């Protein structure tokens, strides 16, 4: 049986939390949050609803006593279409910044701005000068058809592969419209990209202000203003670019332009006709909301477009009928250092004095550049959307009593206990090491700064002052998981119910990162040291310093190896990874939770040092319980469930990442909805270069907690 796929949700943009309720009352289907507040309803109260039915086509239908449809989910699409479903005029498929609708022109995809910017139009076939209003687009077997009002005659059609098993069409967060189908292995795979346009025509392919060239991303650069625009994240250019100095209407006298004659744009709305580049730029300068001007010209005409929002640009390949010129508005500063005033007294001096002055001048310039970079980075942080509270360094010095109580330390810094002014107990992570601060700090803030989940450690705030980078998290009183499963005595051991709950909590946290956020977040460092426990032993994922944000529809990513030896999936050797590397690490953690030990322990007898060969041996003999932590007293009473968890661990650690389950499938197995896959390969020997063989070899990667068990994310 193939894995289920969400194709419709009642309230896509306002998700409910745990303990929400759905009830059919007085003919009205009502969704309420845990506090009882109304979130969504079908608004069918009093319409004599006789029943509710989910059809084989995936349509949720409410019907009356005559079996007539009163309400159906097909009339309220979210981001998917199912075979037979109609996208009516006035309805949209929406996904993130993108919208797909049927207009009087045809099928139109646009990115949300003011006004919307169209990047894909599928126009009707010409045949009449009379304006016609479109009524609908229908997803049927083998095509997406667009109809007109009136006689309902077909005007245009987009071919897609015929249905072989089960299909659905999804409008993605990246603006693509894709068709997915279940393959022979019961996995969903993409069978068509409906728009069939060049990758560079998608508005966010390289993020805001990014330039797409043959699918590769870069930032606009000019020899005269080389530092005016920079990458949002140098590790991932697809996240786009930003102005070094944000545009300000209060300093419009310092506005200027970066001009590019070999760059074009996916959309063009003419605001001024028969003009030139200078006049087009001047019109943009006079309009505070204008961020860029685009000139489109040919032999016979020239038009100017003014953009209040800029998405991805693209290199002009010379194949367009029109020529383009893009002018991006930038903010200049009048605080440039004056270098010549110091040089005049030097001209008649000795060579020695010249050298001294050169050293002084160079040092001054380096210090100025450093200060400038710090100011720019701090200003950039103020403009990252969804940022948590910003604290001053002085506030954190007071909160931590001058960083007096250390909770732990790891490869990127130390964690200290703190108490905020409102009485909130926190863990403050102080990042150390100039070469790693920026990447770790930005990765962590960008990853979890604006997301919230019960199984993720909450980022309360941050501090960025000059070279100081600190992160403030909720306090987790039971420390990290490693201190409970690598215990010194059975008095510190966890019982079976807590271990089972922790495994499920970890899976739910990962599922939210992989499938519940606007962008897919791959953690890349799942290990017991990065799993924290609150007072009720709820497990929460922490330490996002290695994390990677990718588009939800991006299947894989190329990146440098990162993480902790012993938890690294085999595909890291090829540098091309998916979210399945987190699933692999999860499998290792599950095995360690069950066995109460690490994959490799130098202190054990030689035949027991490596856990995976033992795991294979016991699995083949069916002697699962021989591996289980001897301090877990209630194991035998739960033998069947323990064996299932062992099998889940092996399933997640399959050498071939395609044979590993998605973490959402793991949750279904853990909750008893699905069964573990049967044909699991227990030959799980990982490459030796990915194993931490000695305690010393992983000391830089692991985070060591002090005996107090007080904790903060590392």
Annotated binding-site ranges for ATP: 429
At 520, give phi and psi (nearest 5°).
Answer: -70, 130
- The reply to whether 525 belongs to the active site is yes
Residues near 282 by Cβ (< 8 Å), separated by ≥ 6?
A: none
> What Å distances lie between residue 21 and 6, 17, 37, 46, CA to CA?
18, 10, 10, 21
Write the DSSP string, 364-417: HHHHHHHHHHHHHHHHHHTTSTT--EE--HHHHHHHTTTTTSEEEEETTEEEEE
State how far the Cα of 705 lies from the Cα of 597, in Å rounded to an integer. 17
Q: Angle 639-652/611-621 helices, nearest 10 degrees?
A: 130
Residues 6+ apart with CB under 8 A from 688: none
Question: Are 111 and 203 a contacting pair, CB within 8 Å?
Answer: yes
- 525, 543, 551, 582: the catalytic one is 525
Nearest to 228 by CA among 253, 260, 256, 264: 256
Nearest Cα residue to 305 out of 289, 323, 292? 292
Q: How many CA atoms lie within 13 A of 108 on its CB side?
A: 19
Of 268, 317, 260, 258, residue with least CA distance to 296:
268
**Quick check: helix, strand or coil at residue 362?**
helix
- The DSSP output letter for 676 is P
Asked if 290 and 226 touch (Cβ cutoff 8 Å), the reply is no
How deeply is 485 buried, as exposed, middle or buried, from its count of CB atoms within 10 A (0-12, 13-18, 19+)? buried
One DSSP character per residue, 39-96 reads: EEE---TTS---EEEE-TTS-EEEE-TT--EEEEGGGS-SSEE-TT-EEETT-EEEET
Which of the 8 DSSP states describes residue 178?
Answer: E
Bridge-based pairing state of the strands 28-32 and 38-41: antiparallel
DSSP β-bridge partners for residue 304:
272, 295
Q: How many CB atoms lie within 10 A of CB 573?
A: 12
* Active site positions, annotated: 525
């Amino acid at each position: 049986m193939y894995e289920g796929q969400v194709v419709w949700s009642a309230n896509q943009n306002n998700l409910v939390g745990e303990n929400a309720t759905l009830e059919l009352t007085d003919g009205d289907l009502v969704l309420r949050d845990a506090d009882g507040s109304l979130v969504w309803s079908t608004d069918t109260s009093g319409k004599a609803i006789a029943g509710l039915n989910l059809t084989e086509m995936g349509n949720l239908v409410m019907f009356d006593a005559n079996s007539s449809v009163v309400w159906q989910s097909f009339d309220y699409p979210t981001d998917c279409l199912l075979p037979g479903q109609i996208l009516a005029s006035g309805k949209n498929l929406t996904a993130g910044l993108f919208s797909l609708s049927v207009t009087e022109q045809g099928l139109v995809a646009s990115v949300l701005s003011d006004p919307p910017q169209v990047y894909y139009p599928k126009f009707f076939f010409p045949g009449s000068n009379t304006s016609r209003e479109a009524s609908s687009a229908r997803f049927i077997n083998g095509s997406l058809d667009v109809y007109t009002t009136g006689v309902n005659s077909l005007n245009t059609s987009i071919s897609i592969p015929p249905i072989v098993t089960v299909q659905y069409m999804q409008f993605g967060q990246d603006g693509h419209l894709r068709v997915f189908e279940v393959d022979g292995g019961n996995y969903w795979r993409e069978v068509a990209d409906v728009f069939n346009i060049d990758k560079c025509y998608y508005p966010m392919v390289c993020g805001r202000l990014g330039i797409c060239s043959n699918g590769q991303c870069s930032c606009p650069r000019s020899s005269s203003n080389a530092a005016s625009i920079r990458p949002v994240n140098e590790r991932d250019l697809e996240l786009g670019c930003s102005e070094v100095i944000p545009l300000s209407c209060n300093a419009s006298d310092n506005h200027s332009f970066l001009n590019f004659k070999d760059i074009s744009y996916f959309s063009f709305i003419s605001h001024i006709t028969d003009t030139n580049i200078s006049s087009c730029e001047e019109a943009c300068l006079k309009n505070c909301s204008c961020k860029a001007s685009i000139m489109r010209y040919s032999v016979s005409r020239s038009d100017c477009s003014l953009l209040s929002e800029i998405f991805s640009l693209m290199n002009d390949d010379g194949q367009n009928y029109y020529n383009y010129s893009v002018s991006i508005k930038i903010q200049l500063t009048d605080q440039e250092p004056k270098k010549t005033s110091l040089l005049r007294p030097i001209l008649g001096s000795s060579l020695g004095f010249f050298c001294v002055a050169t050293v002084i001048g160079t040092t001054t310039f380096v210090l100025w550049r450093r200060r400038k970079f710090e100011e720019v980075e701090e200003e950039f942080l103020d403009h990252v959307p969804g940022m948590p509270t910003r604290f001053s360094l002085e506030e954190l010095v007071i909160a931590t009593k001058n960083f007096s109580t250390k909770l732990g330390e790891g490869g990127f810094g130390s964690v200290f206990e703190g108490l905020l002014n409102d009485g909130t107990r926190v863990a403050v992570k102080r990042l150390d090491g100039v070469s790693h601060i920026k990447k770790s700090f930005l990765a962590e803030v960008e990853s979890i700064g604006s997301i919230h989940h019960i199984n993720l450690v909450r980022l309360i705030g941050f501090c960025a002052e000059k070279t100081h980078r600190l992160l403030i998290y909720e306090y987790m009183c039971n420390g990290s998981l490693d201190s409970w499963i690598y215990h010194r005595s059975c008095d510190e051991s966890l019982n079976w119910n807590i271990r089972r709950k922790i495994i499920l909590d970890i899976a739910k946290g990962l599922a939210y990162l992989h499938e519940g956020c606007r962008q897919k977040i791959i953690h890349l460092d799942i290990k017991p040291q990065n799993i924290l426990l609150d007072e009720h032993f709820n497990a929460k994922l922490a330490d996002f310093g290695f994390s990677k944000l990718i588009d939800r529809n991006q299947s894989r990513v190329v990146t440098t190896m990162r993480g902790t030896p012993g938890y690294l999936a085999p595909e890291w050797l090829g540098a091309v990874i998916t979210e399945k590397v987190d699933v692999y690490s999860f499998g290792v953690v599950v095995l360690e939770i069950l066995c109460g030990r690490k994959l490799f322990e130098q202190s054990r007898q030689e035949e027991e040092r490596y856990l995976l060969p033992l795991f294979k041996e016991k699995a083949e003999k069916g002697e699962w319980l021989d591996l289980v932590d001897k301090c877990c007293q209630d194991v035998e009473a739960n033998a069947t469930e323990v064996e299932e968890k062992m099998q889940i661990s092996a399933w997640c650690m399959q050498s071939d990442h395609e044979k590993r389950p998605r973490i959402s499938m793991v949750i279904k197995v853990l909750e008893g909805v699905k069964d573990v896959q049967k044909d699991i390969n227990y030959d799980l020997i990982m490459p030796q270069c990915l194993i931490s063989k000695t305690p010393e070899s992983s000391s830089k990667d692991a985070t060591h907690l002090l005996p107090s068990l007080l904790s903060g994310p590392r």
